[in-house]
Amino acid sequence: MKNILIPTDFSENSWNAILYAVSFFKRMRCNFYLLHVSAYDEIISKALFYETKDTILENIAYTGQEYMQLLLKRIQRLPLNTKHRFFTINEYVFFIDAVRRQVEEKEIDFIVMGTKGASGLKEKTIGSNTGDVITKVKCPVLVIPEKARYSKPKEIAFPTDYNLLYKSRILNTITSIVSINRAALRILHIAKREQELTELQNKNKNFLDDYLEEHIERSFHFLSNQNIEEAVQCFVESRNIDMITMIAKNLNFFQHILFHPTVEKISYHTNVPFLVLHE
């Protein structure tokens, strides 16, 4: 049984994340927890116009529950797996606090979040709430961009610089996702110039190769490019990549690929799902 947390603001973007999650986990027994968090600063600001905080919460709770019921009715019209169950949660605290609490209380296996992406060069490619969850909550996060539509993943890219020795828990999650979908894992090493791997990098690469060999189809690739995002874009297009998985610990490498604000000619932010893992 998998426990899946899906934060929602009732937008079409968050609906797209629900559609993807239901399809991605369609072969598994799952509890889906739909979480709506009322912005705490909104509650505080409304305190200026209401007599008590309780009055504010009553109004917000009523609206949130109404929207949740409409959302459940919309979900029920989908061709659902009978082994999928849906639960609704309304919270009135800071967003990250609400997510952390649900992850702990419900023993969440995956968080699934939609993200709108950037519409201009100076905008961030990942929304603030999604970015906060990725960096501040230690739980696997499946990020669904606005234009991503579910198709069974066949090619999953794993960008790495081989500077980290990945723990078994991380690799087990990756191999599980790859195996369930009968996909192939494409390990991608990106460097600004072509050069031999260090002793540490070779050691980590060999460990990765030995571990994955027993579990899944995999291959190793190298691209040289001064711009990491351009290298990822090239790889995504040339291999028809369906998903990108990354480890959040290597912040410099990770942030370049997922959070870099320069999105000109870079489209993978808007149509390729990201699976972000934590140690």
- Give the residues across from 159 on adjacent strands: 188
pTM across the whole model: 0.85
CA atoms within 13 A on the CB side of 163: 11
Token duo for residue 217: 């189809």
- Give the residues across from 248 on adjacent strands: none
pLDDT of residue 16: 94
Sites in the chain below the pLDDT cut of 70: 39-64, 117-127, 250-256, 258-267
pLDDT in tens, 168-225: 889 999 999 999 899 999 999 988 888 889 999 999 999 999 999 888 999 999 998 8
pLDDT of residue 119: 40
Backbone conformation region of residue 240, classed left if phi is above 0, alpha if psi is from -120 to 50, else beta = left
Token duo for residue 139: 């739980």
User: What span, in angstroms and rounded, lies between the C-alpha atoms of 212 and 249?
Assistant: 20
Is-contact 244 272, C-beta < 8 A?
A: yes
All residues at 6 or more sequence positions from 121 whose CB lies less than 8 Å from its CB, including other chains: 261, 262, 263, 264
SS3 257: helix
pLDDT of residue 124: 46
Is-contact 2 30, C-beta < 8 A?
A: yes
